Amino acid sequence: MKRKSGLFFMILVLTMLAACGKEQPAKENIGEVPLPLDVELTVPEQVEVGGKVEMAAVVTQGEEKIEDADEVEFEIWEEGKKDDSIKVASINEKDGLYTAETTFDHDGLFHIQVHVTARSLHTMPKKEVTVGEGGNYEEAVEEEQEHAHADGFSMDFLKPENAEAGESLELVVKLKVDGQSFEKAQVRYEIWNVSTPDKHDWIDAEELAAGEYTAPYTFAQAESYNIQIHVKDDKDLHEHEEYTVEVK
203/188 Cα distance (integer angstroms)? 6
**Does residue 193 have a pLDDT over 70?**
yes
CB of 53 within 8 A of CB of 102? yes
197/219 Cα distance (integer angstroms)? 14
Residues in Cβ contact with 135 at an 8 Å cutoff, skipping those fewer than 6 apart: 78, 79, 107, 108, 109
Give backbone dihedrals phi and psi of 195, rounded to 5 degrees, phi first: -75, -25
**Does residue 73 have a pLDDT over 70?**
yes
Amino acid identity at 234: D
193/126 Cα distance (integer angstroms)? 30
Which is higher by pLDDT, 4 or 199? 199
Terminal CA-CA length for the chain? 65
Confidence at residue 119, expressed as pLDDT on a 0 to 100 scale:
83
Confidence at residue 26, expressed as pLDDT on a 0 to 100 scale:
43
Give per-residue pLDDT as tens, 27-41.
Answer: 444 445 567 788 999
> Domains of the chain, with CATH numbers?
37-148 (2.60.40.1930), 156-246 (2.60.40.10)
pTM of the model: 0.52
| Mean pLDDT, residues 110-131 taken together | 87
Pairing verdict, β 91-94 and 71-78: unpaired
